[in-house]
A and B are shown apart, each in its own frame.
Chain A
Amino acid sequence: MAEVSLEIRNLHARIAEGDTILNGVDLSVPKGEVHALMGPNGSGKSTLAKIIAGDPSYEVTAGDILVDGQSVLELEPDERARTGLYLAFQYPVEVPGVSIANFLRLALNARRDEGDEIGVMEFYQKLQKAIAILGWDESIIERNLHEGFSGGEKKRSEILQLLVLEPKVAILDETDSGLDVDALKTVSQGVNAARGPEFSSLVITHYQRLLNYIVPDVVHVMVDGRVIRSGPKELAVDLDSKGYDWIREQVGV
């Protein structure tokens, strides 16, 4: 069996001192594979994404999260990122006063030792390559991080960052929401460019539409804070036509 890149074991979690949201999630993404995670609103998909990245507003009450076989539960968000985890946010924040270029340089240097900062040429080559994949204008990197960005531009920026930071495991949290078909194609192009034997991804989405462009190896279905069904990519098409109630009935929840 292939090496597992991301493994979620019986994960239970709640909002810090609040409601329970995850009720025992089990899920694993082998190295080199792209899995989709689908589910109705409020099923806990986005919560799972944020918990994997280490969002301090949630609390894990049981279970474990492993990256390359190592638990990351005790790690801070920045430490998780440096082990190769990446979360493309559903709602990326705006940070005025910091250009995308400077921000990405900081992020890349955070992964390197002091005194071994990335060279100017190497950095710009990486950036230019990523910008080209996304068909973006080069001036974008001088703009302040998400300041005045449209929803679509923010999503595109999340994928730009993914391409530059080259994570081992990327979680995409509803990167397709709010995108028109052209933007959807562009963003998918970016993700597909990142695909390879060393890259694993969990693509969270509401709609089957995205999966026409980012074709998953496996589809997981999450309902009420648990993964209730996993199957081949055709499962997404069935879900789209038959709805989540169909799957609820099938598994009897």
Chain B
Amino acid sequence: MADVIDNPKTITSDAVEAIVSQHDEPQWLADARRAALQHYLATPLPSNRDERWRYTELGRFSFDGLELLEEPASRQVSERIEMRITDSDAEGVLVLNGPEVIYRDHHIREEGVIFTDLRSAVHQHEELLRAHLYSAIDVRSGKYTALNAALWKNGTFVYVPKDIEVALPLGAFTTADVGGITNRRTLIVVEANAKVTFLDETTSDPFDERLFSNAATEIVLKEGAKLRYVSLQNWGRNVAHINRLRAHLGRDSRLESLTVSLGADAARAEVESRLEGPGAESEMLGLYFADKGQHYNQYTLQHHAADHAFSDLLFKGALRDGSTAVYSGVIVVDEGAQKTDAYQTNRNLLLDTESEAVSIPQLEIGANDVRCSHGSTTSPVPEDQRFYLMSRGLKPEVAEHVLVTGFLYEVMSRVTLPKVAEYVERLVQAKLGVPGVKEKL
């Protein structure tokens, strides 16, 4: 039986043409959108037979009853986001509600740095976009990917010129207040020996309708470029979230990525690094804590296309109250990518017997002089630890807080942004219900 293509009726070439004409988009972009739409229409929804989507609870990423989101309900910056802006120390801030920029603030001191919404960048920085947009993510690689490529309305564009080091983070804070399908796209280009930190946060107060947030993030790192990228997903529980992140790393460049999943009903993070130049380094950290039936899904790729590159991945997550998590990750070492150093670890902590985690680490090695390892564990809370903590008088729920914090510490201790680490820790504690800890300060 063929897969059923459940296609919202607004996703048509008319929708693409409307965007193209409304914004007077250049030919190259219009053509790319059209090609992507054709691919989208011709591609079935993912199935569990596909290795990348095995064990994914696909029904939770369905388009059922959803149409493309056009306009947000409000242009007010929520209290939650205001707090984040203040707390993040960012020197450039962009707030998006659905496709609309509702707030921006700039005090970037470094010369030539571009930080704007992707919509504006189409005309203001057309040559840069033409050179880089769709360069890291092939528009024909998957249903959701093609959808985003065809119908993105807005997102963020970051460009850091050669040799420039941006001292403070740049932050895009995305929210939503109406249901539907939204396609957000982010493009980050860091030129040779430049350096920047980018915070990509998604958060929303709960509202009644369902939202499907289908995001794509392209990262291009030139020779010696350095990027710290943080994806902090803290949507309300009425949201299904996908973020496909793919980075191309040039010679001696370094990417430190952190993917945090705490909100949404179901969230899928795809984190892919293609190490294209010798000496490139990709550190990929992931942290998730699922409760009350949430489903977290992660697919990772460490693709060593060049020799002498390094990648190290650590994804850790805790689960409780009948939650589920899937981790599927692969290290690919191309023929000739000698002296590759590649590591991959996924660990899950199950806080009850109703929760489940599946972990599928894989290696595809085409070179013979490499150091690669992969491993995964899924285990319940160690009873001896629980007993020890309780023997000091800690109530069971407090003991659990301590154990979860302790379990996630291996990831947290490697986060080089103290403010981000503090906030993530607070979010985890608030979710755990630690007395006196609230998400909003």
Taking Cβ atoms with an 8 Å cutoff, the residues of A that contact B are 53-57, 76-78, 80-82, 86-87, 89, 92-93, 95-98, 103, 106-107, 110-111, 114, 144, 161, 165
Contacts and interface: CB of A to CB of B under 8 A. Distances in A.
A92 B384 CA distance: 9
Contacts of A106: 394, 398, 402
Interface in B47-102: none
Contacts of B394: 78, 106-107, 110
Nearest to A53: B391
13 contacts: A56-B387, A87-B391, A93-B384, A93-B385, A95-B402, A96-B406, A96-B409, A97-B413, A98-B405, A110-B392, A110-B393, A110-B398, A144-B409
Nearest to B413: A97
Contacts of B398: 106, 110
Nearest to B410: A96
B392 A97 contact: no
Of B391, B403, B407, B410, most A-chain CB atoms within 10 Å: B391
A97 B391 contact: no
Contacts of A107: 392-394
Given A93-B385, A95-B385, A77 B408 contact: no
Contacts of B395: 78, 110
Contact of A114 (B396, B409, B435): B435
Contacts of B389: 95
Contacts of A111: 393
A225 to B, nearest CB: 21
Interface of B: 382-385, 387-396, 398-399, 402-403, 405-410, 412-413, 435
Contact of B392 (A56, A57, A96, A161): A161
Secondary structure at the B interface, as helix, strand, loop or mixed, is: helix
B391 A77 contact: yes
A82 B384 contact: no
A48 to B, nearest CB: 15
Contacts of A82: 393
A51 to B, nearest CB: 12
B387 A77 contact: yes
B436 to A, nearest CB: 8
B406 A97 contact: yes
A77 B398 CA distance: 13
Contacts of A56: 383, 387
B390 A78 contact: yes
A8 B407 CA distance: 37
Contacts of B383: 56-57
Contacts of A81: 390-393
A66 to B, nearest CB: 18
Nearest to A91: B384
A121 B284 CA distance: 41
Contacts of B412: 97
Nearest to A146: B388
Contacts of A103: 392, 402
A87 B384 CA distance: 13
Contacts of B388: 89, 92-93, 95
Contacts of B393: 78, 81-82, 107, 110-111, 165
A98 B425 CA distance: 12
A165 B399 CA distance: 17
B406 A95 contact: yes
Contacts of A110: 392-395, 398
A98 B402 contact: yes
